[in-house]
Structure 1
């Protein structure tokens, strides 16, 4: 198969090892150009990327690392030579056969669509409960949507027109970019097509907890940026995290010494919520962790608000 000169790929990563090698191999002979942006790897990732034929960008260690900044710098390296379409992909992901052809054909035929994504799957959903939960998380409705993830085929001109990703965001940069794209009149689309294999490699509860806390931080920051009407970006997610993850447990603890019977009744809201979500989605484990996850999400919200109050910049919340 001849490479498609209309498509370039920007991969980002740090210490992804064999995952990065699979990622780059999945794009070789399929795109006209591969740029790999590294965020301080010590495992030979830079050499592996160069050997795979990618142009390598090593981020300046003096500046904070973010995925948004890495993607922007990979795109900027191409300058005026950037082709019409750019496939952004995380270094722990592998493109699926046929994805680029399907996605680029969709953009060819839908000139008002800025970004198109498909089904991202976990490589090892049976390795751990957490991997399986993430695989379910990726299974979102197809059709026009409000946001994409880190793996996405983006129209160059649309990406450039809105200024790319916000490099200051430590998480949630893709939905935030989509807010600005939609405000500029572009549409976002999710196809019923296999896009990437993702290797979350989450095998411990602590990893899941940190990843979920990061999501709460992103919710709060997104709401602070675009929470006003009519967008109301991430407002509902932030509110649910605070109610279920902070307000409810605080109320139970306050009532416990004075009205223990009322505290117990109030605490029953958690198992009732689990059962409600399980009936709706059919997966008890997923329902349990969705409910439990509101606590680390709430902590992430508080983390963002405290950081903002103190005027400090929050570093990455990493789970690998």
Structure 2
């Protein structure tokens, strides 16, 4: 395929990483094993990893760009960082714990070449087994999180048309500790673009090997749980704000409910408190029956409560201009 003079490569593969020394080698190898007859570059966009992630990537001969300030770390800054130094007509977004599946790139590029109104395309996701509640629940809802056909956003990344990203100003929002693909989908849809998920394998994902409570602690410390509030705050006043609310409606409804229970606890009587807890008990019972586990029902409440606290924390977080470039450095093997 001929390239526009604007682009050096047909494809830029952007891998966002933070402490992925255990997985980044396999991710890079999977890309090289499954992309053929295409002029491409691999960019590892690193958030100042504390392990050997950068060295492993440099040793494999890929471009490594790193943040200069640790306080910039978040999911939203990673792929944006790679986009700033990319030179590809198409952008493939992966995380450092993903492995590209055979055949996806050829099918995805063919789809975008034949459907110019679409800004991006993704594929089916395969997740490994996990012991913690969050990833077990995610695997149960995999058809809901990663639906096929035309979609509002592409969870887990995908293949994006660079010209569409140039059109909307930035790739991923550097303020968001998660939900960056959701926010990207909202902006692309607002600009008139469409997105699609093909029923073909895209990537395999390695889950966190942490217990449920260890993962929640990690999610809080990393800022991941703040993302719902950050999304609300960053999209407020934008044409897509109502759609952003719908994107996080389950967590938002639970947050409003918990706030009402707290008000009843402070200002209401014992009888009112018991009545206010009926929906919570019913929710626990339904979850327990569905999962055939009373513990899973309890963990679902713990999980949602953590996200509720995160919404408040995220709303209180200052928002930076997402189009403003973070401070970064392109590394060479000698550094």
Distance in 2, matches of 1:126 and 1:170, equals 22
Residue in 2 that maps onto 1:318: none
Q: Answer yes or no: is 1:243 the counterpart of 2:247.
A: no
Q: Deviations over 1:238-286 (max 9, x none)?
A: 53132234333x1563478x32x4423332211312444677xx43556
Q: Measure, in 1, the Cα distance between the counterparts of 2:300 and 2:70.
A: 37
The corresponding residue for 1:41 is: 49
In the TM superposition, residue 210 of structure 1 has moved relative to its aligned partner by 4.2
- Specify every segment of 5 or more residues in structure 1 that has no aligned partner in the other structure, as ranges: 310-320
| 1:155-304 alignment runs, 5 A limit | 155-164=161-170, 165-210=172-217, 214=223, 217-227=226-236, 231-236=241-246, 237=249, 239-248=252-261, 250-251=262-263, 253-254=265-266, 258-259=269-270, 261-276=271-286, 282-284=290-292, 289-304=299-314
Q: Distance in 1 between matches of 2:127 and 2:297?
A: 19
When structure 1 is superposed on structure 2, of 142-151 and 220-229 the one drifting more is 220-229
Contact 1:148–1:174 under 8 Å retained in 2:
yes
* Contact in 1 for aligned 2:130/2:208 (Cα 8 Å): no
Partner of 1:134: 138
- Aligned counterpart, 1:83: 88
Separation (CA, whole Å) in 1 of partners of 2:210 and 2:70: 32
| 1:201 Cα offset (Å) | 1.3
- 2:230 and 2:132 mapped to 1: Cα distance? 30
**Corresponding residue SS for 2:42:** strand
Indicate conservation of the 8 Å contact 2:157/2:181, yes or no. no
> Which structure is richer in relative contact order (CA contacts within 8 A, separation 6 or more)?
2
Find the partner of 2:21 among 17, 28, 34: 17
Counterpart Cα distance in 2 of 1:154 and 1:303: 31
Q: How many residues were matched structurally?
A: 296
Deviations 1:150-178 (A, max 9, x none): 42111111112112222233332221122
Q: Deviations over 1:32-56 (max 9, x none)?
A: 2111122222322222112223111
| CA distance in 1: counterparts of 2:260 and 2:191, whole angstroms | 37
SS, match of residue 221 in structure 1: helix
Deviation readout 1:282-316 (Å, 9 max, x if unpaired):
4355665444322111111111233359xxxxxxx
In 2 relative to 1, CA 180–153 (structure 1 residues): closer, same or farther, beyond 3 Å? same
Instruction: Compute the displacement of 1:136 (Å).
Output: 2.9
Q: Deviations over 1:91-143 (max 9, x none)?
A: 111112222222222212221111112232323x1444443223234432222
Is the partner of 1:26 in helix, strand or coil?
helix
Between 1:202-211 and 1:30-39, the stretch displaced more is: 202-211
Q: 1:59 Cα deviation (Å)?
A: 2.0
Distance 2:260 2:225 in 1: 15
Partner of 2:100: 95
Residues 70 and 306 of structure 1: is their aligned pair in 2 closer, same or farther, counting only changes over 3 Å? closer
The answer to which of 29-38 and 131-140 deviates more is 131-140
Name which of 122, 128, 144 aligns with 2:150: 144
Aligned match of 1:67: 75
Distance 2:257 2:224 in 1: 15
CA distance in 1, matches of 2:119, 2:127: 25
Secondary structure of the residue aligned to 2:260 is helix
CA RMSD of aligned residues (A): 2.8
Distance 1:210-1:232 versus aligned 2 partners, 3 A rule = farther
**Corresponding residue SS for 2:196:** strand
How far apart in 2 are the matches of 1:292 and 1:233? 26
